[in-house]
Amino acid sequence: MSECVFCKIVSGEIPSNKIYEDEKVMAFYDIAPKAPVHFLIIPKQHISGVDRIDGTNSKIISEIFETITKVAADLGVDSYRVVTNNGTQAGQTVFHLHFHVLGGGPLGDMA
């Protein structure tokens, strides 16, 4: 996926403010934060979105959520929202699966 921004972040071609990395997942701060703490967590493997999760790749989702728990605790954030947008109308702009983790202060209401 040579044109994918997040694949380029995984490869190091595009720099990021990295928080956590292991062989399967990566967490880094969002370039345009929408909360006092706003990081993204992604699988290193290119999956374009939630609608491409199936029995062949779904194990990564539990690993992502285990990592969210660990990274949030490391950052001292105990109240946070996890969001993922699937599809253009939902606001997805980067078509590499990612979960937004927003916290560090009051977030306001959302559906």
Residues that bind Zn ion (CB under 5 A): 1, 4, 6-7, 46, 96
Q: Which of 96, 62, 63, 98 is nearest to 82 (CA)?
A: 98
Kindly give the pairing relationship between strand 99-103 and strand 80-83.
antiparallel
Residue 77: phi and psi, rounded to 5, are -105, 115
Of the two residues 39 and 72, which places its CB atom closer to ligand 5GP in the complex? 39
Nearest-CB residue to Zn ion? 4
Q: Which stretch binds ligand 5GP (CB under 6 A): 52-60, 69-77, 91-99, 103-111?
A: 91-99
Contacts of 104 (CB under 8 A, 6+ apart): 35, 36, 37, 77, 80
98 catalytic, yes or no? yes
Per-residue binding string, ligand 5GP, 21-60, x by CB under 6 A, is -------xxxxx----------------------------
Q: Which residues are catalytic?
A: 98
Residues at the site binding ligand 5GP, with contacts judged by CB under 6 A: 5, 14, 16, 28-32, 85, 91-94
